[in-house]
């Protein structure tokens, strides 16, 4: 098959005009890369948002009111994305929230941020949860770990450089990695999860080392947030307003509303990426059409000579189409390869720059999109060749013959 292609007239035409051919191949590569990379970016952002929604699982989140007023606390990113940070409220307040009418189940979480010093293996956000009432973290953990966490056992996020059986040190205390979680596309992928017994020991150790900025941050007396599911027959807004009115010192948010800001930013970023990809795609397609047309005009006598020795209009058109197909194929493969390389090499940097949930599709889906991008690149170039071939046939060929 390869020998047959190399012996064909279209292939020889491409090889004998290296400058023109290389320019067209590069255009096809850019077109294909833009199509593939733009599509993958949009899909990754959408998958990140879907993963975040699946991960949250609570109708309402309740935090200390002061957490909403401090400029140094990025509430959305701490709660939803897992950025490092902390805030606390009394356990009595959490009990009042759980007792409100319309609350079906309430579960507390406790945040502890480690430091980058000799006492800790790595600076991370440690999230302590109550296994008896938890309904958000436990289902997620059970996908990777079949039993309850023991004291001084932790589960680590997907991107944390630790594996099952490893020992990590936080505030001078050794903990064992029991499981590694699936990727979420957020900073939760670098967080550490543990039960109440473990978080109490780690917090006390941070206090003993005088590394805890909140000296009253005892997990037996305070919590960071309360996650609430609403009882059937009650509306989320109704229960949320009731908590805000009757429980002092807290702020309750609808989870869907809290995520709307992130969702809006994500949709905006995806829209910009899609517009840029389409713009590059259209520009490259237009240039390809012009380039193929100019190339054929320069070769009028060549095609006229083919007609003179007996080649039909259909044969000449087929040669042009075969050339465009070969050029597009030679450009589409490196274009997709470049897109895949950029996607994997700079995924972390893109996620950091956007500060949005970013979750790459599975490998099989990436390969499928790569194949689709190659097909799209070939089809676009063939489309450019079709337009050129039509203009070459008929009167244009006759005029060229008379000029010989």
What's the pLDDT tens digit per position in 13-72?
666 666 777 877 888 888 888 888 888 888 888 887 777 666 667 888 898 888 777 655
Q: What is the mean pLDDT of the chain?
A: 78
Contacts of 244 (CB under 8 A, 6+ apart): 250, 251, 252
Q: Give the bridge partners for 169, in sequence order.
A: 174
CA–CA gap between residue 370 and residue 363 (Å, rounded) = 10
What is the share, in percent, of the chain residues with pLDDT greater than 70?
73
CA–CA gap between residue 26 and residue 135 (Å, rounded) = 53
| Per-residue pLDDT band at 365 (split at 50, 70, 90) | confident
| Domain residue ranges of the chain, discontinuous segments joined by + | 2-51+263-403, 54-256
CB 8 within 8 A of CB 320: no
Enter the pTM of the model.
0.68
HSE of 229, CA atoms in CB hemisphere, 13 A: 11
Question: 217-261: per-residue pLDDT in tens?
Answer: 667 788 888 999 999 889 989 999 999 999 999 999 888 776 666
Instruction: Please give the angle made by the CA atoms of 38, 42 and 46, to the nearest 5 degrees.
Output: 170
User: Mind giving me the DSSP string for 247-289?
Assistant: STTEEEEEHHHHHHHHHHHHHHHHHHHHHHHHHHHHHHHHHHH
| Per-residue pLDDT band at 11 (split at 50, 70, 90) | low
Question: 151-187: per-residue pLDDT in tens?
Answer: 999 988 888 888 888 999 998 899 999 988 887 777 7
Determine the pLDDT at residue 393.
Answer: 53
229 vs 308: which has the higher pLDDT: 229
């Amino acid at each position: 098959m390869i020998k047959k292609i190399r012996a064909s007239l279209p292939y020889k035409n491409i090889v004998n005009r290296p400058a023109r051919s290389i320019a067209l191949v590069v255009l096809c590569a850019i077109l294909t890369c833009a199509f593939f990379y733009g599509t993958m970016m949009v899909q990754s952002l959408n998958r990140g948002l879907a993963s975040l929604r699946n991960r949250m699982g609570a109708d309402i989140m309740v935090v200390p009111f002061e957490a909403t007023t401090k400029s140094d606390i990025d509430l959305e990113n701490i709660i939803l994305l897992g950025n490092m940070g902390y805030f606390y409220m009394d356990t009595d307040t959490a009990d009042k929230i759980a007792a409100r009418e319309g609350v079906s189940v309430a579960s507390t979480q406790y945040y502890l941020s480690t430091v980058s010093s000799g006492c800790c293996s790595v600076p991370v956000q440690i999230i302590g949860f109550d296994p008896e009432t938890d309904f958000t973290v436990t289902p997620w953990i059970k996908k990777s770990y079949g039993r309850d966490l023991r004291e001084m056992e932790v589960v680590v996020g997907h991107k944390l450089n630790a594996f099952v059986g490893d020992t990590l040190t936080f505030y001078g205390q050794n903990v064992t990695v029991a499981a590694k979680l699936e990727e979420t596309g957020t900073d939760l992928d670098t967080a550490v999860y543990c039960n109440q017994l473990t978080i109490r020991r780690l917090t006390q150790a941070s206090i003993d080392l005088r590394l805890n900025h909140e000296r009253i941050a005892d997990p037996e007396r305070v919590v960071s947030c309360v996650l609430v599911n609403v009882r059937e027959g009650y509306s989320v807004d109704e229960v949320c307003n009731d908590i805000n009115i009757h429980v002092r010192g807290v702020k309750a948010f609808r989870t869907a509303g809290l995520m709307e800001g992130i969702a809006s930013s994500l949709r905006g970023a995806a829209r910009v990426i899609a517009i840029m990809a389409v713009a590059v795609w259209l520009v490259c397609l237009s240039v390809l059409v012009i380039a193929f047309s100019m190339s054929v005009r320069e070769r009028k006598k060549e095609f006229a000579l083919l007609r003179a020795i007996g080649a039909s209009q259909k044969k000449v058109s087929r040669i042009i189409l075969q050339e465009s197909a070969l050029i597009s194929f030679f450009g589409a493969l490196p274009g997709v390869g470049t897109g895949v390389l950029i996607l994997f090499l700079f995924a972390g940097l893109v996620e950091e720059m956007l500060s949005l949930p970013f979750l790459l599709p599975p490998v099989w889906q990436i390969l499928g999109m790569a194949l689709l991008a190659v097909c799209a690149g070939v089809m676009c170039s063939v489309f450019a060749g079709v337009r050129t071939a039509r203009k070459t046939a008929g009167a244009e060929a006759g005029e060229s013959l008379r000029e010989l």
